[in-house]
Amino acid sequence: MDLWYATLPAPFARQIKAVAEEPVIGGLRYNIGCHTPWSPQETVKRVLAAAGSKELWLDLKGGQLRVERWSLPPAGQIILNHKIIKLGLPAKILFRHEDEWLDIAAYDGNEIFVDPVPGKVIGQGQAANIRTEELILDSYLTKADTEFIEAGNAMGIHRFMLSYVEKESDIASVFDLDPKAIIAAKIETPKGLDFVREIYPSYNREVRLLAACDDLYINIGQEDEMLDALYRIVDADPKAIAASRLFMSLQYQDRPALSDLSHYRLLQAMGYKSFMLSDSLCARGPAFLRVAEWLKKSDKGERKQCWWNDVRDHIKRFGFR
C-alpha cells in the first residue's frame, strides 16, 4: 500500500481540518512559505494541533530562490530571498507559472536585472529557477528556516523537508541546529543528483530523498534524462518520496487525466511507494476530496496494480536508465 503525504493549508483555513483528518493521508507537510499573521512559534503550535497524531514535516525553503516582494519591472526591482555571492554569466532565470526563460544581465546582492523585462508583475513568494554554471548564495538556510527549526525543536518536531539540497553542508546546517533532525532532502537540480550519486550512499544520518519532479524537470536541462534521474533517486533510497503535480487534473474534473494516471503508474513501476500532493491541490476542498476518494478505491484493489514489475521490465528494455 502506498504512503501518501498531503500539504496542510494555512492554519487559518477551514480546509486544514479536512486534509489533516483524511484517513487515506498518512503524513503531513507544512510549507513555511505560507504567510500567517502569527509568529513561527504560534504557527507551529497551530499546525501541530491540526496534525494530531499524524507524522508532521516542516518544509523549509533552504536553497530555493523566491521573489521577496512584488515587482513590476522596469519600475520595480526584482529582489530575491537570498543574496547572490557569485553567479556565472551567462545565466537564465525562469519564474514559476511563466513560460519564458529570461537572461540575467546583471546582479547586485539579492537584486537581479533581467532581459527582456517581464511584461507583468512578478509576485511576492514566486519561486525562481536559475540555470548557470556557477551559483553561490550567502547561506543555505533563510532567517525563517532558522526560526521554524527553533520553534519545531521547542515543540518536539524534528522532521524537516529541505528544498534544493545540493551539498552535504546543506544538510549539516540543519543538524547543527537540531541534532535530532530527520531530513527529507528534496532533489531538484543536476547538482542535487550529483549529491545523490556521490554523497548520499555513504551518509550515515537519518536522511531520505524526495524527488521534486516539477522543479527537477525544469532544471535538468536535458529532458530525456528525467526518467534516469527518477530511477537514480529511488534506487539510492527505496523509501524516497515522489512529489509535484500529482493528479492536478482533479482540480477541474471528476477523474484523473490519462497523463496524471500514467505519471503515477510510472512512478510506481520505478519503485516509488511514497507520494506527496501539492499545495494548490490540498488547498481546494472539492479537488482534494476527489483525490482522496480515488486513492481509497485504488487501495481497495478496485484498480489493477499487479503489472508494476512487468512495466518496470519494459522501461528497462527501452533504455531509460
Alpha-carbon gap, residue 75 to 260, rounded angstroms: 40
E-strand ranges in 80-233 read: 84-87, 92-95, 102-108, 111-115, 127-131, 135-137, 159-162, 182-187, 207-212
Amino acid of residue 83? K
The pLDDT of residue 221 is 73
C-alpha cell recorded at residue 312: 518496470
Residue range 277-311, pLDDT digits in tens:
988 889 888 999 999 999 988 765 544 444 445 55
Collapsed DSSP state (helix, strand, coil) of residue 215: helix
Which residues in the chain come in under a pLDDT of 50?
302-308
Alpha-carbon gap, residue 172 to 127, rounded angstroms: 24
Burial level of 251, CB count in 10 A (0-12/13-18/19+)?
middle
